[in-house]
Amino acid sequence: MVGELSKIVLMETEGNWKNEFGRPWMIAGPCSAETYEQLFQTTKAVYDLGITVVRAGVWKPRTRPNTFEGVGEPALEWIEAIKAEIPVQFAIEVANVQHLELALKHHIDMVWLGARTTVNPFTVQEIADALKGTDIPVMVKNPVNPDLALWLGCIERIANAGVRQIAAIHRGFSSFRNTRYRNEPLWQLPIELKGRLPHIPLICDPSHIAGDRSMIREIAQKALDLNYDGIMVETHPDPDNALSDPMQQVSLRQLADIIGDLKLRKDTCDDALFKSKLEELRNRIDSIDHDIVENLANRLRIIEEIGQYKKENDVTILQMERWTSILNSRREWSKALGLSTDLIEEIYKTIHSESIRKQTEIFNRSPESPS
Ligand code: PEP
Ligand code: MN
């Protein structure tokens, strides 16, 4: 298992990262490089697990001043010294052109743009310009806010600079809501990114999604089950005393356990029985979906009649009492059927906003315009 997960060779195929086993690709290392000894010990342990790409933060974006902001250039010297002894590649975060220049000067193997950089197109463009003519692989973390266009835009700027090896890192999204995650995963966003850019490897960073080491295994497994191409995990010899992100870093021992536990499922199965059963189930889904779409169209036709009727009688589009009763009854129905009430609520909010849009269109129609 460990061998399969970690004995990864970075190969360039049609300008994209692929690894020897197709997937996934493991990256592990400390949130921050703190001392030579800490970095050496971590690299050695990570390498002994068969992982050959080590992450380390050299400059740290911190929320408040007067906290540990990374050791800077001396860490790059430690990295060079460690690489002379252990055959690994190093990945670091660069947040400005100066960081990138120092990374190149010290032969860093790959860089990533952090979540606070991806949000800023000016900085991204400056870094992209400085990347021209280099062939260093670049990983792009999602922006802190759930904005797919911004994430795609950042990747596009890097690609336009001629960088051929690009990967995306999903590290979750800031949320004002109280959730069990430090950064909400909002899995549909990276899935949408993968749909738009199928050739860009997608790596999951369970550490920054979780914010708590007890959840790393579960999130990493979910990413693998969603066919991610790789995982980037923060690990530290003494996590509780780490200078940054102490709660979410796993110990070197825990890292070994997690890697040993992760299950790598296959993309597909060639067994004929499996295939025919899957096809039968998919046919049933297709026919149910067809009914759903047909019923939505039927519903919309009735909405049009209602809109017209309200307009003729000068009645407002939104009837709060009716809307509340729709929501409540649909929630009740879904509960009785064992469906998630939150899911049904989300679906009905979407249906309702379309209904309002349609009725507004009818209200705004001038009497002489064709219906
Ligand atoms: C990090 O990787 O340590 C980091 C600061 O991440 P992010 O940009 O995702 O917050
Ligand atoms: Mn971190």
187/33 Cα distance (integer angstroms): 29
Out of 1.10.238.10, 3.20.20.70, 2.30.180.10, 3.40.50.300, the CATH code matching 2-261 is: 3.20.20.70
CA 203 to ligand 1 center in whole angstroms: 13
74-105: string of b/e by CB count within 10 Å (b at 16+)? ebbebbeebbeeeebebbbbbbeeebbebbee
Pairing of strands 89-93, 230-234: unpaired
24 CB near ligand 1 (under 6 Å): no
Q: What are the distances in angstroms from CA 343 to CA 92, 107, 118, 329, 340?
A: 39, 49, 30, 14, 5
Choose one of 27, 141, 219 to mutate for the ligand 1 pocket test, by most ligand atoms within 8 angstroms of C-beta. Answer: 141
CA 264 to ligand 2 center in whole angstroms: 25
pLDDT of residue 368: 62
State the CB neighbour count (10 A cutoff) for residue 294.
10
Which residues touch 309 (CB under 8 Å, ≥6 apart)?
none
Protein residues placing their CB within 5 Å of the ion ligand 2: 31, 245
In the chain the first and final C-alpha atoms are separated, in Å, by: 63
Q: Which of 162, 161, 109, 119 is nearest to 140 (CA)?
A: 119
Query: Which protein residue has the closest C-alpha to ligand 1 atom 6?
Result: 114
182 CB near ligand 1 (under 6 Å): no
Q: What are the distances in angstroms from CA 48 to CA 108, 142, 255, 256?
A: 21, 30, 11, 10
83 CB near ligand 1 (under 6 Å): no
50 CB near ligand 1 (under 6 Å): no
For tokens 């596009």, the residue is 156
| Residues 214-255 pLDDT 10s | 999 999 999 999 989 899 999 999 999 999 999 999 999 999
Contact 114, 151 (CB under 8 A): no
pLDDT of residue 299: 96
Host H or E run for residue 243: none
Q: Which two tokens stand for residue 196?
A: 């738009």
Is the fold of 2-261 the same as that of 272-364? no
Q: Model pTM?
A: 0.81
43/202 Cα distance (integer angstroms): 23
Q: What ranges do the domains of the chain cover?
A: 2-261, 272-364
CA 69 to ligand 2 center in whole angstroms: 11
Q: 361: number of CA atoms within 13 Å, CB side? A: 12
Q: Which of 182, 107, 171, 120 is nearest to 141 (CA)?
A: 171
Considering the domain 272-364 in this protein, what is its CATH number?
1.20.59.10
CA 215 to ligand 2 center in whole angstroms: 15
CA 271 to ligand 2 center in whole angstroms: 43
Q: Which two tokens stand for residue 75?
A: 């860490």
157 CB near ligand 1 (under 6 Å): no
pLDDT per position in the chain (371 positions), as tens? 333 333 333 334 444 444 443 445 899 999 999 999 999 999 999 999 989 899 999 999 888 888 999 999 999 999 999 999 999 999 999 999 999 999 999 999 999 999 999 999 999 999 999 999 998 999 999 999 999 999 999 999 999 998 888 999 999 999 988 899 999 999 999 999 998 888 888 999 999 999 999 999 999 999 999 989 899 999 999 999 999 999 999 999 999 999 999 988 877 788 899 999 999 999 999 999 999 999 999 999 999 999 999 999 999 999 899 999 999 999 999 999 999 999 999 999 999 999 999 999 999 998 765 55
Q: What are the distances in angstroms from CA 6 to CA 1, 22, 248, 289, 343?
A: 8, 12, 21, 40, 37
CA 19 to ligand 1 center in whole angstroms: 24
pLDDT of residue 198: 83
Query: Which protein residue has the closest C-alpha to ligand 1 atom 3?
Result: 31
Which residues touch 275 (CB under 8 Å, ≥6 apart)?
269
* Ligand sitting nearest the alpha carbon of 141: 1
129/41 Cα distance (integer angstroms): 36
Burial of 30 (0-12, 13-18, 19+ CB in 10 A): buried
Amino acid at 38: Q
